[in-house]
């Protein structure tokens, strides 16, 4: 079988999510090609060509693909699918946006956010905020799959895939990019970080979040947050970890002032080591924490910061 | 502009799903069910558009068992004008749901569909985009803010890394994210009034849609449990433990 992996990139750098998606594709068996759709993507294509075990790199370079809007991505991928048995992409917001469009155009059911590959047509995916794992077998001729990247290891480097440029289809006219406001951060990317320090409602204010950030910087960690902290305006929404935010599975997850609602746990309970700091000893977060500290975070966090 | 809002009856978001012993699925007997939280946000947005005069009529649709009618009534109490209930006891996949919705959109000549970004039971997050593709309409998924002016709609979207604004030519499909609005509670007089609003009864067969599932659920299992952790006494003990684990 032939599998098309759609690259996650920002037109300059290829993201690690692509490597992890390649691993999932390899587990399905068959030839793996990578599609890089964007603007001025030569560098991204060169990086993709280095991923081990990849056959071809396909590039589509056009203004309309700069932000990978759904309508434009659909126009690129659907015609390519006459050559492929499956298309697979990371479940980041960019890909979650257009993949169902591709599936609908192919008249197949999308298999969202898989965490395991049983065989070329059978996959494992979390449902009910990760409180159950469903094993599903697809009867569709073509598979459209998004991957929970935290569940797969990154494919190694050392490959030397050839590349070719494809013609861009006509740009869609019904949807236009207007602007973007990106959160500036020098810290590691949340979904890929080895350590994540998250704050919740207990942190109390945007100013108080500085102690969370200071601890994160000491550990070289990414900063996350619960929905309560985002809704209260302490941090931007793209910090949110959970069912409706990002899923993370770092080596170490430190939850500070987070009670541990089902929706939050859905996004972090696959972390290797979970530490909880909360003054409420009955907080549900302690049920999943490997190490729990019942303490006032305003005392414990600065102490922890100083001890590191 | 006529607005269509699909809503789904799901296991209440505060209830922890229990997997059935025979691994056939999640136990939904005698548990609290309610409107999918994202759909409440969709309903709220449609009602606000009506109040602002942008929407002329707001129609709520639910595809599901007899009890889905309660979910439709809730939406009517919040301010939707009328309902359509497509009765089925099968748990339809987003692909089949999108096909039925497409037929309803065309029959009703709706110009805007506001759907939730995902249902919190199956977590597919596919229906809205699938519908947009089937209708060949543009889409504004994960909407944080929407603004209609003339024949277009500006949607600020929640994306990884921040916010992105797109402009869509109407008709369009929008899917709602958590921060789009704060849904209101239905007031008692409105709940009474909602009982008088009409709900059209339909079945999937009325739309000639093949609803055969494409994905067969082989089994549903509990996620791997985490072994019980320890409560440490103080920060020194925590740091020592983390050093021992080799994570810091």
Residue A140, number of CB atoms within 10 A of its CB: 18
Taking the C-alpha atoms of residue A297 and residue A305, their distance in angstroms, rounded to an integer, is 11
pLDDT of residue B144: 97
DSSP B26: B
pLDDT of residue B225: 84
- Whether residues B138 and A291 touch (CB distance < 8 A) is answered with no
The domain boundary, picked from A108, A134, A166, lies at A166
Q: What number is the average pLDDT over the span B139-148?
A: 98
Chain A partners of B158 at a C-beta cutoff of 8 Å?
93, 237-238
Chain B partners of A77 at a C-beta cutoff of 8 Å?
none
B11 has pLDDT over 80: yes
Residues A9 and A101 in one domain: yes
Residues A150 and A226 in one domain: no
Read off the pLDDT of residues B210-242 as tens digits, 9 standing for 90 and up.
999 999 999 999 998 888 799 999 999 999 999
Give yes or no for A285 touching B (CB within 8 A): no
Read off the pLDDT of residues A95-115 as tens digits, 9 standing for 90 and up.
999 999 999 999 999 999 999
HEC letters along chain A = CEEEEECCECCCCECHHHHHHHHHHHHHCCEEEEEEEECCCHHHHHHHHCECCCCEEEEEECHHHCCCCHHHHHHHHHHHCCCCCEEEEECCHHHHHHHHHHHHHCCCCEEEEECEEEECCEEEEEECCCCEEEEEEECCCCEEEEECHHHCCCCCECCCCEEEEECCCCCCCCEEEEEEEECCCCCCCHHHCCEEEEECHHHCCCCCHHHHHHHHHHHCCEEEECHHHHHCCCCCHHHEECCCCECCCCCEEEEECCCCCHHHHCCCCCCCEEEEEECCCCCHHHHCCCEEEECCHHHHHHHHHHHC
A10 has pLDDT over 90: yes
Residues A14 and A160 in one domain: yes
Taking the C-alpha atoms of residue A233 and residue B214, their distance in angstroms, rounded to an integer, is 42
**Does A196 map to a domain?**
yes
Read off the pLDDT of residues B164-176 as tens digits, 9 standing for 90 and up.
999 999 999 999 9
Cα atoms in the 13 Å half-sphere on the side-chain side of B247: 24
Read off the pLDDT of residues A267-287 as tens digits, 9 standing for 90 and up.
999 999 999 999 999 999 999
Domain that holds residue A54: 2-166
Per DSSP, what are the bridge partners of residue B19?
B26
**Does A250 map to a domain?**
yes
Taking the C-alpha atoms of residue A13 and residue A158, their distance in angstroms, rounded to an integer, is 17
Structural contact between residues B10 and B119, judged by C-beta atoms closer than 8 angstroms: yes
Q: What is the CATH number of the domain that holds A297?
A: 3.40.50.1220
Residues A93 and A153 in one domain: yes
Cα atoms in the 13 Å half-sphere on the side-chain side of A188: 18
When CB atoms are compared, the residue of B134, B144, B218 closest to A135 is: B218
pLDDT of residue B228: 77
When CB atoms are compared, the residue of A128, A133, A176 closest to B121 is: A128
pLDDT of residue B226: 86
Residues A105 and A251 in one domain: no
Residue B225, number of CB atoms within 10 A of its CB: 8
A213: confidence class by pLDDT, cuts 50, 70, 90:
very high
pLDDT of residue B179: 94
Residues 6 or more apart whose Cβ sits within 8 Å of residue B246? none
Residues A122 and A160 in one domain: yes
**Does A171 map to a domain?**
no
Taking the C-alpha atoms of residue A44 and residue A42, their distance in angstroms, rounded to an integer, is 6
Structural contact between residues B75 and B5, judged by C-beta atoms closer than 8 angstroms: yes
Structural contact between residues B82 and B198, judged by C-beta atoms closer than 8 angstroms: yes
**Does A20 map to a domain?**
yes
Best of A16, A137, A244, A256 to disrupt the B interface (most B CBs within 10 Å) is A244
Residue of A nearest to B167 (CA): A176
Number of domains chain A contains: 2
Q: What is the CATH number of the domain that holds B187?
A: 3.40.50.620
Taking the C-alpha atoms of residue B55 and residue B74, their distance in angstroms, rounded to an integer, is 19
- Whether residues B162 and A180 touch (CB distance < 8 A) is answered with yes
Domain that holds residue B104: 2-245
Residues A153 and A196 in one domain: no
Q: What is the CATH number of the domain that holds A69?
A: 3.40.50.620
A239 has pLDDT over 80: yes
Give the minimum alpha-carbon distance from A162 to chain B in angstroms, rounded to a whole number.
30
Residues A127 and A249 in one domain: no
**Does A14 map to a domain?**
yes
Taking the C-alpha atoms of residue A190 and residue B46, their distance in angstroms, rounded to an integer, is 34
Chain A partners of B213 at a C-beta cutoff of 8 Å?
109
Q: What are phi and psi of B79, to 5 degrees?
A: 140, 0
A290: confidence class by pLDDT, cuts 50, 70, 90:
very high
**Does A172 map to a domain?**
no
**Does A174 map to a domain?**
no
Q: What is the mean pLDDT of chain A?
A: 97
Which is higher by pLDDT, B203 or B224? B203
Which is higher by pLDDT, A275 or B150? A275
Q: What is the mean pLDDT of chain B?
A: 97
Q: What number is the average pLDDT over the span A52-77?
A: 97
Number of domains chain B contains: 1
Residues A85 and A149 in one domain: yes
DSSP B186: P
- Whether residues B159 and A180 touch (CB distance < 8 A) is answered with yes
pLDDT of residue B227: 80
pLDDT of residue B138: 98
Q: What number is the average pLDDT over the span B40-60?
A: 98
**Does A87 map to a domain?**
yes
Residue of B nearest to A139 (CA): B214
Q: What are phi and psi of B131, to 5 degrees?
A: -60, -45
Q: What number is the average pLDDT over the span A127-156?
A: 97
pLDDT of residue A185: 87
């Amino acid at each position: 079988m032939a599998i098309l992996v759609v690259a996650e990139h920002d037109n300059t750098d290829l993201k690690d999510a692509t490597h992890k998606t390649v691993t999932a594709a390899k587990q399905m068996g068959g030839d793996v090609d990578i599609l890089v759709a964007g603007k001025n993507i030569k560098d991204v294509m060169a990086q993709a060509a280095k991923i081990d075990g990849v056959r071809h790199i396909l590039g589509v370079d056009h203004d309309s693909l700069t932000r990978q809007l759904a309508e434009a991505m659909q126009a690129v991928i659907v015609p390519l699918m006459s050559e492929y048995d499956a298309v697979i992409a990371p479940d980041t917001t960019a890909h979650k946006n257009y993949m169902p469009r591709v599936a609908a155009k192919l008249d197949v059911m999308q298999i969202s956010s898989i965490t395991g590959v049983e065989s070329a047509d059978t996959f494992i995916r979390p449902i009910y905020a990760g409180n159950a794992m469903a094993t599903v077998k697809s009867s569709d001729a073509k598979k459209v799959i998004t991957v929970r990247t935290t569940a797969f290891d990154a494919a190694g480097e050392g490959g030397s895939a050839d590349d070719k440029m494809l013609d861009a289809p006509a740009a869609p006219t019904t949807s236009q990019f207007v602007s973007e406001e990106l959160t500036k951060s020098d810290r590691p990317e949340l979904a890929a970080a080895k350590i994540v320090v998250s704050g919740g409602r207990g942190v109390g204010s945007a100013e108080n979040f500085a102690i969370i950030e200071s601890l994160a910087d000491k550990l070289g960690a990414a900063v996350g947050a619960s929905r309560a902290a985002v809704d209260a305006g302490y941090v931007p929404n793209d910090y949110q970890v959970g069912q409706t935010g990002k899923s993370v599975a770092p080596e170490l997850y430190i939850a500070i002032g987070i009670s541990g609602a089902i929706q939050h746990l859905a996004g972090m309970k696959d972390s290797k080591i979970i530490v909880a700091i909360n003054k409420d000893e009955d907080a549900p977060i302690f049920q999943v924490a490997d190490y729990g500290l019942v303490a006032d975070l305003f005392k414990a966090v600065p102490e922890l910061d100083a001890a590191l | 502009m006529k607005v269509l809002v699909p809503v789904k009856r799901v296991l209440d978001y505060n209830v922890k799903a229990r997997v059935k012993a025979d691994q056939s699925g999640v136990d939904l007997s005698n548990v609290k069910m309610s409107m999918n939280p994202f759909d409440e946000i969709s309903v709220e947005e449609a009602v606000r558009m009506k109040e602002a005069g942008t929407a002329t009529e707001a129609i709520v649709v639910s595809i599901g068992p007899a009890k889905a009618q309660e979910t439709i009534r809730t939406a009517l109490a919040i301010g939707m004008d009328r309902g359509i209930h497509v009765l089925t006891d099968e748990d339809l996949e987003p692909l089949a749901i999108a096909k039925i919705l497409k037929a309803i959109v065309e029959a009703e000549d709706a110009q805007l569909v506001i759907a939730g970004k995902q249902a919190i039971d199956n977590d597919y997050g596919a229906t809205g985009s699938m519908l947009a593709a089937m209708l060949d309409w543009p889409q504004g998924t994960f909407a944080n803010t929407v603004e209609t002016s003339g024949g277009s709609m500006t949607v600020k979207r929640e994306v990884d890394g921040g916010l992105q604004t797109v402009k869509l030519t109407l008709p369009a499909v929008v899917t709602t994210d958590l921060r789009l609005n704060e849904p209101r509670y239905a007031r008692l007089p409105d709940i009474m009034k909602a009982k008088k609003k009409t709900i059209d009864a339909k079945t999937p067969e009325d739309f000639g849609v093949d609803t055969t599932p494409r994905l067969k659920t082989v089994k549903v299992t509990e996620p791997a449990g985490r072994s019980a952790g320890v409560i440490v006494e103080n920060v020194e003990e925590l740091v020592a433990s983390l050093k021992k684990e080799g994570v810091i």
